[in-house]
Amino acid sequence: MQRDSGAPLWEFFAGGGLARLGLEPDFACAFANDIDRTKAAAYRAAFPPGDDMHEGDIWKLTPSKLPGKAALAWASFPCQDLSLAGARRGLAAPRSGAFWGFHALIEKLEHEGRAPDVLALENVSGLLSSHGGADFTALLHALDDLGYRAGALEIDAAMFTPQSRPRLFIIAARSPPPHLVASGPSEPFHGQALRNLVARLPDSMRKHYVWWRLNTPPKRNTRLADLLDDHSDAWNSAEQTAKLVSQMSELQRSRLEALQESGRREVGAVFRRIRIEHGERVQRAEARFDGLAGCLRTPTGGSSRQLLLFVEGKSLRSRLISPREAARLMGVPEHYPLPSGQTAALHLVGDAVCVPVVRWLSQNLLSPLAGAAAARKSA
């Protein structure tokens, strides 16, 4: 894929490089890192020659591995490794939280005068409630210790693509320019949970907290059906589709029947989930027909695989979502080379960040922040 010029970028927990797709051409990647061999191989295939991808544990990275100085460091640190409660407690233990490996590296770079001007951290929205908010507070405190002022933005990919995928983006900078800072929270990027957490911060931290000003994107004009392939050889059997419908709740089945009676053609996204009903575990198929897919997941089990239910009057057909369709829901261009294996491709996509979300952040906040930092240095 073509490498565009831009401000220097370091990308950590890079996966297949979907964040990079959104950040270019505002930023040019000079270094990338991921511990997963399959994802690192996919990254190199997508961005040849691939010599900027360093495969390995972030805890073992040293500043000498990183070239020059970056305007931006992006880090989509893994949510399953989240262990932030008790600030800095786990810095000496590699398994206590991948974020702390990133933090330790930035701290070393700071001692060399090479810390990035801007940091962008991405994680699940559950970070706000993790340990009653203590993990989020610890993360802010850690960034504050490094000399950054930070603030969070809640962005749902549904604003850009037909997929429900809320994520938390924590943006940190040295001296935020006034025109990029709001006087307080605003919809749709600062929800009530975030507002409540910030209100409970210690006074010193609350004074340093930044309510980032971010433009609201134009209204999305695509639906799930628009991104699906017209033809597929992977249809489930009639029996499998009937079983899927039988696993719906009575309310879900009645909604499906009403849709069939209307004669409309519609596509629903379906997940299987275990629910407790009358004290028993019951597998339910839960469908949505609002034009959105459910949040893509990594294919670790049967229940994590998203299905599609096609309704054409009385006719029902179902199949699994394909890797390329999943990639489209993440805003990935058609020419991006997905891994050949279906599981590997779905894992890469389901564990990534939505490209148009990153692009909007880059154009409206990250690039202006990096530009302001460069202007201060040249003044």
Band the pLDDT of 61: cuts 50, 70, 90. very high
Give the pLDDT confidence score for residue 129 in this predicted structure.
86
The CATH class of 7-219+353-378 is: alpha beta
Rounded to whole angstroms, the Cα distance separating 71 from 367 reads 9
pLDDT one-digit tens code per residue, 238-251: 999 999 999 999 99
Minimum mean pLDDT range among 23-27, 240-244, 297-301 = 297-301
373 pLDDT more than 50:
yes
* Angstrom distance (rounded) from CA 269 to CA 201: 39
Q: Which band of pLDDT confidence, cut at 50, 70 and 90, is reported for residue 308?
A: very high
What SS3 class is residue 234?
Answer: coil
Domain boundaries, the chain: 7-219+353-378, 230-321
Give me the pLDDT at residue 1, please. 46
User: How far does Cα 252 stand from its chain's mean position?
Assistant: 29
As a whole number of angstroms, the distance between CA 173 and CA 17 comes to 23
Give the residue from 63, 65, 46, 62 showing the smallest Cα distance to 3.
Answer: 46
Burial (CB < 10 A; 0-12, 13-18, 19+), residue 196, is exposed
* Residue 269, SS3 per DSSP: strand
Mean pLDDT of 258-279: 91
* 91, pLDDT greater than 70: no
Q: What residues have CB less than 8 Å from 239, skipping those under 6 apart?
A: none
Distances (CA, A) of 185 to 201, 209, 212: 15, 11, 8
- Tens-digit pLDDT profile for residues 127-163: 898 888 888 998 999 999 999 999 999 999 999 999 9
Mean pLDDT on 275-298 = 91
Report the amino acid identity of residue 356: P
How confident is the model at residue 93, as a pLDDT?
Answer: 35
Cβ atoms of 285 and 272 closer than 8 Å = yes
In the prediction, which pLDDT does 50 show? 86
Higher model confidence: residue 274 or residue 326? 326
Measure the CA–CA gap between 59 and 74, rounded to whole angstroms. Answer: 16
pLDDT exceeds cutoff 70 at 258: yes
Q: Is 291 left (phi over 0), alpha (psi -120 to 50) or beta?
A: left
Q: What is the pLDDT of residue 278?
A: 84
Q: Is a pLDDT exceeding 60 seen at residue 89?
A: no
Q: Tokens at residue 2, please?
A: 């073509």
Residue range 203-215: mean pLDDT, rounded:
95
CA distance 358 to 366: 9
Average pLDDT over residues 25-51: 95
Q: What is the pTM of this model?
A: 0.92
> Encoding tokens for residue 102?
């990133």
H-only helix segments in 223-305: 238-246, 250-262
pLDDT band at 15 (very low <50, low <70, confident <90, very high): very high
- Which tokens go with 71? 């305007």
User: What's the average model confidence in pLDDT over 253-267?
Assistant: 94
Give the residue numbers marked as catalytic.
79
Give yes or no for a contact between 353 and 295, defined as CB atoms under 8 angstroms apart: no
Edge-first strand order for the sheet with 280-288 is 280-288, 265-277, 307-312, 315-320
Q: What string of DSSP letters covers 32-78?
A: EEES-HHHHHHHHHHSTT-TTEEES-GGG--GGGS-S--SEEEE---
**Cα within 13 Å of Cα(29), Cβ side:** 30
SS3 label, residue 3: coil
Residue in the structure block whose two tokens are 């299987």 = 272
pLDDT score, position 82:
44
Does the pLDDT at position 4 exceed 80? no
With 70 as the cut, is the pLDDT of residue 304 above it? Answer: no
Q: Read off the pLDDT of each residue in 77-95 and give the average, rounded to a whole number.
A: 44
DSSP structural state of residue 222: -
List helix spans (H) across 164-308. 192-199, 203-208, 238-246, 250-262
Given a cut of 70, whether residue 164 has pLDDT beyond it is: yes
Whether residue 90 has pLDDT greater than 50: no
- Give dist(CA 223, CA 164) in Å, integer: 11
The amino acid that residue 292 corresponds to is L
Report how far apart, in Å, the C-alpha atoms of 310 and of each of 36, 267, 346 are: 35, 5, 21
pLDDT attached to residue 265? 92
Pick from 116-120, 130-134, 320-324, 357-361: least confident: 130-134
242 and 253 in contact (C-beta within 8 Å)?
Answer: no
- At 374, phi and psi to the nearest 5? -65, -40
Q: Average of pLDDT values for 41-67?
A: 95
Whether the CB-CB separation of 288 and 342 falls below 8 Å is answered with: no
Q: Please, which residues bridge with residue 76 across strands?
A: none
